[in-house]
Each structure stands twice: as structure tokens, then as C-alpha cells.
């Protein structure tokens, strides 16, 4: 029997882009995500009972489902010894909606038209948010209102200070789009704007994230030597200028320099008082090493593990809401099981990209480099990056890249095998021209 052909859901890319565009309004974005999950289930069931074509390849379905399970199963296992069982169970049930939404994302990038709309559309959204952030840096106002007293807030508003983390996290979309449209000059202009906005947005974890993004996309655009030179010199000039012209930037640099003092007080000051939080998170992880204290249980368990002189338990403070460091968040809330499953998810993404066909690998060449930057996060992206929060609205772009970089046909897999049961990586061909990169990437 012939395999069913692959069909497309033409509205899937637009639904995905709508959900991204609404990130500054978390409640509405969550509603769009939930409706998208229901639409994905309906479309898959409809196509299943009607017969004919498929909306998802078996590989895309398997990869997206496995990645979701690597995120969701730690939450389920953490209910075993959760300090706040009702809250943890609610998270387990509510987060099930992310699986069908991941299927919708995979539908969105299933064909060349969908990939152009999805990846290019996200790049356009980031460029619009970048322009809004630059206007706020110059005038103090943006579409999100007046700037926060301590940092740029941009389109997200002064009550949701996630501008720097979101812009740094999704910067490769805008950088690659600019490079393909306007070459090196376009990449450099967007990179300069991103550096200004992310620096003034204040989240220092996003500084390192953006640095990695600039470095890897720069290598793709200009080559290793030129990229290192441009990123290094450009960063020094922009950071120096921002420090001289912005009091807020100067305070951030001064706080960061306190880490060079070598003593615990200086390091804690540079980290904005996070050392006590990390010590408490480590104590939780040691005492609940297998399954953690439960998703969303960090805030409830904090008082039981905090030291007597913990500054976050003084006055009106009732402890920290999360560990402010990804590995400690995983260990404290979901234990060793959660950390291992997240590592499995990262390994699956890398394996999918390594074993993808040449066309898929060329089209997604810059995109797997975004994954290492996630490891340097110390604070959550909207609405959260911790294992108990709504992580998938921030991670699904990477899932889309992984789904596009998958082995898509049995014929492709057969070409990689030298003998049954022993796959062999494809041999690397010669250097591909820039025109070929743009041609394949726009497909």
C-alpha cells in the first residue's frame, strides 16, 4: 500500500505568528495557544477519518511528542513527593495543551511556504519589537507605555520586564532574516540595535545569550575570523558608549564588576542577591533528589530550607518564587529525573539535526546554535522557563527548527546506511555558496 501523501494546514503558520505577536499580552496569548491546540486536535482527527493525506510526517510527530514528554513527565513524577500537590497536579493537567500545539507548529513548518511564513514572520515581529525598544530608549515611551525606572521595558510594559530575555532568545530569527535580505550590512545594523536594546533592558543573562547568538550567526554570515573581530569590537564600542550615556547601564556595569572583588559579598551583590536563593535551591535538591519538591513548589518549600538570616525571608519577603538558574530549578522542583529527561530532549534535538537531510540542515544551519544559549539563563522568559511554568510558548520555535531538520523519508535514511542496523553520518560536502544558502533557506 502506498504511503499517504503529506498535506498542509494553510492557516497553521498564521496561527503560530498570532500567538507570538500576542506574547506582550500573556492572558490573550495563552488563550490563542489553547485554541490552537484544540484546532490541531480537530484537524488531525478530521484528516485521520477522511483518509488521504497526512498533516504530519511520522518523524515530526514522534520528535515533537518525545520532546513534550521529556518536559511533561518530570512534572508528573514530581507529584510523588510534592509539597503543594494541588498546584502541581493543576500544572500537570494544564500543560497537556502544549502537546497538540507543538503538533500545530510542526504543521506550520511542514512545507516551504509554511517555513517562509513562520520563520520570516517571527523575524519581522522581533524587528518591530526592536524598533519599539529603540524608540523607548530615545524618548522614554513605547507601545508598552513609559519605560521602567530601572531598565527598558519595551512592548511588554513596565509590569512584565522580559524584553531583554525575549529579544536575545529570538534574535537569530531577526538576524538571519536581515542577513538574507540585506547581506552583512543588514545583519550588522540589526545586531547593533539588538545590543543597544538588550543592554538597556538590563537582564545580564540575556547579554550572554545575545553574545552567543551574534557570534554564531556572524560566523554563518561572515566566517569565523571576521565574525570574531566584528562581534568583539562592536560589543566593546557599544557597551562603552551605552555606559557613558546611560546611568542605568553604568549601574549595571558597576554591579557586574563587583564580582571581581573575589569575596562572597561582592559576588552576591553582582548577582543581585541570588546566592542565598541558590543555596536554598541546592538544599531542596539534596533533600528531594529523585523527584524534587514538585512543580510550582519552590515558593512553598523555600521557607523550610532557607537559612535563618536569608534576606529573602526578612521583612515583607516570603521567599523566592524560583531558583533563578535553570539546572537548580530542574533539580529542586523535578529532581534528578527531571534533569535527565531534559538532557534527553536536548540530545534528541541535536540528533535530529545531525541526521537530517542536506537541504533541511542547510535551511536550519544557524538555528541549533540557539539551544546552548538556553543553558546560560538565570531568569525565566515569559511567562516562565522553569519546569513548572509555561515553557513551551518560548521553546516551540526551537521545536519547529528541530522538526524541520528531521530525517523526513525512509529513502533519505537508507542513503545514510552502509549496512542494516548501523547508521552512518553523511559525508560533509564542500563549502556551500552564500547564494545557495539563501536559496535553500527561503524554500
Q: Residue 428 above 50 pLDDT?
A: no
Q: What is the mean pLDDT of residues 43-54?
A: 72
Give 331-383 pLDDT, tens digit per residue. 999 999 999 999 998 888 888 877 776 666 665 554 444 444 444 444 333 33
Question: Which pLDDT score, from 0 to 100, does residue 72 have?
Answer: 94
The average confidence (pLDDT) of the chain is 78
Backbone angles phi, psi at 24, to 5 degrees: -65, -15
Q: Which residues pair with 146 in a beta bridge?
A: 141
The Cα–Cα gap between 21 and 187 comes to 22
Whether the CB-CB separation of 154 and 206 falls below 8 Å is answered with no
Q: What is the dihedral of CA 395, 399, 400, 405, to 10 degrees?
A: 140
Question: Which residues have CB under 8 Å from 60's CB, separation 6+?
Answer: 106, 110, 403, 406, 408
Give 94-108 pLDDT, tens digit per residue. 999 999 999 999 889
Residue 296 lies in a domain: no
Residue 330 lies in a domain: no
Question: Which pLDDT score, from 0 to 100, does residue 120 have?
Answer: 93
Q: What is the mean pLDDT of residues 214-218?
A: 90
- The residue with cell 519605560 is 147
Residue 306 lies in a domain: no
Residue 146 lies in a domain: yes
The Cα–Cα gap between 111 and 362 comes to 15
The Cα–Cα gap between 293 and 79 comes to 8
The β-bridge relationship of strands 141-142 and 145-146 is antiparallel
The residue among 386 and 125 whose pLDDT is bigger is 125
Whether the CB-CB separation of 114 and 6 falls below 8 Å is answered with no
**Residue 226's domain spans which residues?**
124-271
Question: Which pLDDT score, from 0 to 100, does residue 376 have?
Answer: 40
Range in 57-61, 168-172, 358-362, 421-425 the model is least confident about: 421-425
User: Quick one: which H or E segment has residue 422?
Assistant: strand 422-423
Q: Residue 263 above 90 pLDDT?
A: no
Q: What is the dihedral of CA 10, 15, 17, 21, to 10 degrees?
A: 160
Per the structure, the count of domains in the chain is 1
If we measure between CA atoms, which residue out of 440, 274, 300, 419 comes closest to residue 357?
A: 440
Crossing angle of helices 247-257 and 171-201, rounded to 10°:
90
Residue 8 lies in a domain: no
Ranges of beta strands (E only) in 162-249 are: none
Residue 4 lies in a domain: no
The Cα–Cα gap between 385 and 325 comes to 10
From the number of C-beta atoms within 10 Å of its C-beta (0-12, 13-18, 19+), residue 25 rates as middle
Give 119-136 pLDDT, tens digit per residue. 999 999 999 999 999 999
Residue 88 lies in a domain: no
The Cα–Cα gap between 60 and 130 comes to 32
Burial 260-286 (b: 16+ CB within 10 A, else e): eeeeeeeebbbbeebbbbbebbbbbbe
The three-point CA angle 322-324-326 to 5° equals 100
| pLDDT band at residue 268 using 50, 70 and 90 as cut-offs | confident
Residue 280 lies in a domain: no
The Cα–Cα gap between 153 and 135 comes to 11
The residue among 290 and 354 whose pLDDT is bigger is 290
Amino acid at each position: 500500500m502506498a504511503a499517504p501523501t503529506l498535506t498542509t494546514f494553510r492557516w497553521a503558520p498564521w496561527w503560530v505568528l498570532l500567538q507570538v505577536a500576542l506574547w506582550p499580552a500573556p492572558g490573550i496569548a495563552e488563550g490563542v495557544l489553547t485554541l490552537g491546540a484544540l484546532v490541531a486536535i480537530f484537524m488531525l482527527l478530521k484528516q485521520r477519518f477522511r483518509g488521504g493525506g497526512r498533516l504530519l510526517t511520522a518523524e515530526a510527530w514522534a520528535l515533537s511528542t518525545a520532546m513534550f514528554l521529556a518536559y511533561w513527565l518530570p512534572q508528573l513524577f514530581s507529584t510523588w513527593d510534592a509539597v503543594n500537590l494541588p498546584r502541581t497536579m493543576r500544572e500537570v493537567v494544564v500543560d497537556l495543551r502544549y502537546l497538540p500545539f507543538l503538533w500545530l507548529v510542526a504543521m506550520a513548518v511542514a512545507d516551504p511556504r509554511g517555513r517562509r511564513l513562520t520563520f520570516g514572520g517571527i523575524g519581522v515581529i522581533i524587528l518591530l519589537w526592536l524598533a519599539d525598544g529603540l524608540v523607548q530608549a530615545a524618548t522614554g515611551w513605547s507601545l508598552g507605555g513609559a519605560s521602567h525606572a530601572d531598565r527598558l521595558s519595551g512592548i511588554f510594559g513596565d509590569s512584565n520586564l522580559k524584553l531583554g530575555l525575549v529579544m536575545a532568545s529570538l534574535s537569530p530569527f531577526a538576524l538571519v532574516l536581515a542577513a538574507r535580505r540585506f547581506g552583512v550590512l543588514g545583519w550588522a545594523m540589526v545586531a547593533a540595535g539588538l545590543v543597544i536594546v538588550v543592554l538597556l533592558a538590563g537582564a545580564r543573562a540575556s547579554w550572554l545569550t545575545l553574545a552567543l547568538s551574534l557570534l554564531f550567526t556572524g560566523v554563518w554570515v561572515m566566517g569565523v575570523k571576521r565574525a570574531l573581530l566584528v562581534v568583539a569590537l562592536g560589543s566593546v564600542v557599544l557597551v562603552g558608549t551605552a555606559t557613558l550615556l546611560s546611568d542605568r547601564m553604568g549601574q549595571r556595569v558597576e554591579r557586574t564588576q563587583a564580582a571581581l572583588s573575589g569575596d562572597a559579598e561582592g559576588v552576591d551583590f553582582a548577582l543581585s542577591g541570588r546566592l542565598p536563593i541558590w543555596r536554598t535551591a541546592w538544599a531542596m535538591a539534596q533533600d528531594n533528589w529523585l523527584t524534587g519538591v514538585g512543580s510550582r513548589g519552590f515558593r512553598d518549600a523555600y521557607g523550610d530550607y532557607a537559612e535563618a538570616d536569608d534576606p529573602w525571608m526578612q521583612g515583607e519577603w516570603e521567599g523566592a518564587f524560583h531558583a533563578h538558574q535553570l539546572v537548580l530549578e530542574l533539580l529542586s522542583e523535578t529532581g534528578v529525573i527531571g534533569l535527565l529527561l531534559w538532557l534527553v530532549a536536548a540530545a534528541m534535538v541535536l540528533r535530529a539535526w545531525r541526521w537530517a537531510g542536506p537541504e533541511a540542515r542547510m535551511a536550519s544551519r544557524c538555528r541549533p546554535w540557539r539551544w546552548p544559549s538556553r543553558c546560560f539563563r538565570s531568569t525565566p522568559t515569559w511567562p516562565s522557563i522553569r519546569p513548572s511554568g509555561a515553557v513551551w510558548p518560548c521553546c516551540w520555535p526551537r521545536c519547529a527548527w528541530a522538526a524541520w531538520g528531521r530525517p523526513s523519508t525512509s529513502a533519505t535514511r537508507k542513503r545514510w546506511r552502509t549496512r542494516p542496523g548501523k547508521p552512518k553520518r553523511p559525508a560533509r560536502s564542500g563549502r556551500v555558496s552564500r547564494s545557495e544558502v539563501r536559496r535553500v533557506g527561503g524554500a
